[in-house]
Amino acid sequence: MPTNLPMFSPVTLLLSFGVALLLSSCGPLFDGDPGPGDERRTLAQGYTPCNDFPDPSRGVICHPSQYCSSQILSICHNGCLSQDNCSHEQFCLKTGSERVGTCVDHATYEERRRGEDLEPGYTACGDPDNPSRFAICHPSQYCSSDYFGQCSSGCLSEHNCTELQVCIKEAGENVGTCQHAGNR
């Protein structure tokens, strides 16, 4: 009895079988519920993928307090671009118009914004309730804009210098430089 079924060459059948096998081993093509044997998993807060792999749990992973500066080269740098780069106990603190911030512990931030637990020479600057307008000025810096939380080089008094330094100002100048106390 003749049938009208098309005849496929052995090469076509072999290629079709190979493609079907390859596609079945790739796993799901769309996001959805992971199936049995699916190794994908969610990354913990602060861990971010830094690669071009479709599965974020494989390849280079930046740790909390790091951000991915190049997906193509898989390079992690210290700092944060957003809360995604910090752990649950931290948040991303950026000062002024900086693009890269620092992951700061919530408790440490609360102490600093109240002016507590600051080393000599470090001063709070700006609105402590607005992280984008708050900064901690380092020794040899003073708060030049309390509104924007901006620090500038120099000193207004010894509060902007370390314990071993004094603020030296030229005659008629408001801003000086921190110098070692023995260099007067």
pLDDT tens profile 47-90:
988 887 666 556 788 999 999 998 888 899 999 999 999 998 88
Which domain, by its residues, includes 92? 41-117
Helix or strand holding residue 45 (H, E) = none
**Same domain membership, residue 148 and residue 92:** no
Alpha helix (H) ranges present in 85-140?
Answer: 106-113
- The structure tokens listed for 31 are 């996001």
- Does a structural domain hold residue 161? yes
Q: Note the Cα 77 to chain centre separation in Å.
A: 8
Query: Which two three-digit tokens encode residue 108?
Result: 């440490």
Domain-embedded: residue 170: yes
- Overall domain count for the chain: 2
pLDDT of residue 161: 93
Asked whether residue 84 is domain-assigned, the answer is: yes
* Distance in angstroms (rounded) separating the CA atoms of residues 42 and 22: 25
Task: Determine, yes or no, domain membership for 1.
Answer: no
pLDDT on residue 176: 96
pTM of the model: 0.42
